[in-house]
Structure 1
């Protein structure tokens, strides 16, 4: 049977049945249940029956657990012409919690296609075609199956339930949020008052000084390999050096799966290396958390890489490096995490509107600072490479 799938991110699915009735109100008879609707043409000669199966993360969690990772992997492997578009597509997939699987008895034409796209538009969804092409809610191509960009000006849409869960409030979180908004106001950075609070300190599992130090040293060392990949250096020699340094400081086990994969590839992906080099900015955040920087400067410029390297390379062992550190107060780290969360929203909001980031903010720096700060506070117990970047 021919297929057409709509994916969306929605707080509530109870209105979907009514939306289906609305789209197919002329020339069709709509029946069935809210989870499986059958749409039969009324005309004598048109007998191409439509079946729409509706699933949500609440009603069918196994479907989303089993299929969304595969969808993510599919679009990660496609060689997108536009890397930013790939980021937006993957962001959208990551927040999908609603699926409408549409089947027709026979091949469908443009008349049916227009109705399916209209339904997707009402759902703020994206359309998935069997060959992997994605369409937006206006029927414009987002990306083809071979990575070519379409005319769609696609922007991800995420429901608040998916990205935030249930908003929580506390006196501590509210005061911290207010201080952060005052900080942004002083720097003339726009902010969203409804962006939720971060959890109070008692609900978080802030990492220890040794955990921060081990992550920092391992990250700095593997970044040097990524720099060599990016610059086309002799990787055999680089890999020997990096492996020796990881052993010297005893932090090989601190590497993430992504970092191990990069080291293990015979021909590392240049884009992966560039992404890892940007994590100098996350490493800079870790150094601040370890008391090795007086302050965490406004994220409008890249860090001092020379200092970043020397603070570790001047040590002969991990213990010597650890002795140089003094853990910041957990309250201060959480304050910075709250600020960067709101600064990230300002960057994303500006980008969506086609504007420059306000106050000279560098979104890549902001994003990596957020990775480090959210990892340090143990937000949602997320792993280093899985830190939520929702805004």
Structure 2
């Protein structure tokens, strides 16, 4: 193939030139022409050239007005083996606002394909192959042209501009951002000045204290089953116990689609169970907001799982658990959400550049803590399983 296209949802492309330089540095000469680039090998023989064309919704509105609906129509007509994945794909396409089209003068060789994949990862985009195959940012197939699902653990990624419109600045948001950056600088962690502010607390769609409490209890209970699945335990006995506990606390309807699927699957997937087991960290953020944990410490070590279980297991009913809660202020929760948002960017930035997460952070802890905090504040009013992890 001679063509490889990256679609993405990004607030801006200010860092794109640097990312291209990082990917092609050393063995290539890079020439910039407006917003486009020409990349050519430095070798004397077998020279290879690649044109990189950059389009955004701001600079090329006509392209997006005509091509994005066409792309949605193309994938909508495909008979996906997994209808849920089809919905996720169509959602992702609907929020694209950036295209990076790579065109080689000859068929892409293995080395060039590897470079394309590195740029795809750096942009956190979706790769489009000429036959219609879609790749996730890690190069794993999302879906094949015949509708067969690939191995990618895919969820849509949308920038704030596409979900909330252009960034709206506020005195509160700026103050919170400055405080978070000061916290991050003290620990010598990289940060991005242009990462948007979070909205003022009054503009968010907050979950109620009772909804947070019920989500916490339901999540903790299903995590126990997920751990048994991941560790190869007695699933029949575990499912019976979990089902009874959900009934006892009256939180069955507060399960998410992913949690119900895990419980209902006769042969639950190990990775799906591991993903839910990691949500101990999201649960920890919930019970912190409910006043049951003293502080959210730096995300470099896992939460106290024994205590996490105890705060629910020592209660005989949801009502007893709920009486123990004392909701923290919205301002305090927003402060933590803003901080984890910027720490997540630092983790992603280091990962993209082949480095460990800074200051000993565990990115899985950061991601799940962000899930819990962002779900509570209702930043985009997203479902628990669909919390946007844009950075």
Q: Could you say what the CA RMSD is over the residues aligned between the two structures, in angstroms?
A: 4.4
The 2-side partners of 1:161 and 1:324 are apart by 39
CA positional deviation for 1:236: 1.2
The 1-side partners of 2:320 and 2:379 are apart by 29
The 2-side partners of 1:189 and 1:301 are apart by 17
CA positional deviation for 1:218: 0.1
Alpha-carbon distance change, 130 to 210 in structure 1, aligned in 2, over 3 angstroms: same
**Following TM superposition, where does structure 1 have runs of at least 4 consecutive aligned residues deviating by more than 2 angstroms?**
2-12, 58-71, 73-78, 89-101, 110-114, 120-127, 131-136, 141-149, 156-165
1:346 and 2:351 equivalent? Answer: no
The 1-side partners of 2:225 and 2:97 are apart by 38
1:330 and 2:330 equivalent? Answer: yes
Q: Which residue of 1 aligns with 2:279?
A: 279
Q: In structure 2, the residue corresponding to 1:316 is in which secondary structure?
A: coil
The 2-side partners of 1:220 and 1:362 are apart by 21
The 1-side partners of 2:151 and 2:388 are apart by 27
Q: Which runs of 5+ in 2 are unaligned?
A: 13-33, 40-54, 56-61
1:174 and 2:174 equivalent? Answer: yes
The 2-side partners of 1:267 and 1:328 are apart by 40
CA contact (8 A) 2:72 2:93 kept: no
Alpha-carbon distance change, 185 to 99 in structure 1, aligned in 2, over 3 angstroms: closer
Alignment of 1:173-212 (within 5 A): 173-212=173-212
Q: Which residue of 1 aligns with 2:359?
A: 359
Alignment of 1:115-264 (within 5 A): 126-130=127-131, 132=133, 142=139, 161-162=161-162, 165-264=165-264
The 2-side partners of 1:133 and 1:378 are apart by 30
Deviations 1:189-217 (A, max 9, x none): 11111111000111112211101100000
The 1-side partners of 2:99 and 2:194 are apart by 28
Q: In structure 2, the residue corresponding to 1:380 is in which secondary structure?
A: coil
The 1-side partners of 2:95 and 2:75 are apart by 9
Deviates more, 1:127-136 or 1:194-203: 127-136
TM-score by length of 1: 0.70
Alpha-carbon distance change, 363 to 95 in structure 1, aligned in 2, over 3 angstroms: farther
Deviations 1:63-89 (A, max 9, x none): 455566899x789999xxxxxxxxxx9
Alpha-carbon distance change, 189 to 96 in structure 1, aligned in 2, over 3 angstroms: same
The 2-side partners of 1:329 and 1:268 are apart by 39
Q: In structure 2, the residue corresponding to 1:8 is in which secondary structure?
A: strand
CA contact (8 A) 1:224 1:242 kept: yes
CA positional deviation for 1:299: 0.6
CA positional deviation for 1:93: 7.0
1:8 and 2:7 equivalent? Answer: yes
Q: Which residue of 2 aligns with 1:302?
A: 302
Alpha-carbon distance change, 290 to 70 in structure 1, aligned in 2, over 3 angstroms: farther
Alpha-carbon distance change, 134 to 253 in structure 1, aligned in 2, over 3 angstroms: closer
CA contact (8 A) 1:217 1:251 kept: yes
Q: Which residue of 2 aligns with 1:27?
A: none
CA positional deviation for 1:129: 3.2
Alignment of 1:94-113 (within 5 A): 96-97=96-97
Q: Which runs of 5+ in 1 are unaligned?
A: 13-17, 24-33, 35-53, 79-88, 102-109, 150-155
Q: In structure 2, the residue corresponding to 1:193 is in which secondary structure?
A: coil
The 2-side partners of 1:273 and 1:237 are apart by 16
CA positional deviation for 1:8: 2.2
The 2-side partners of 1:135 and 1:359 are apart by 28
Q: In structure 2, the residue corresponding to 1:368 is in which secondary structure?
A: helix
Alpha-carbon distance change, 325 to 388 in structure 1, aligned in 2, over 3 angstroms: same
TM-score by length of 2: 0.70
The 2-side partners of 1:133 and 1:367 are apart by 24
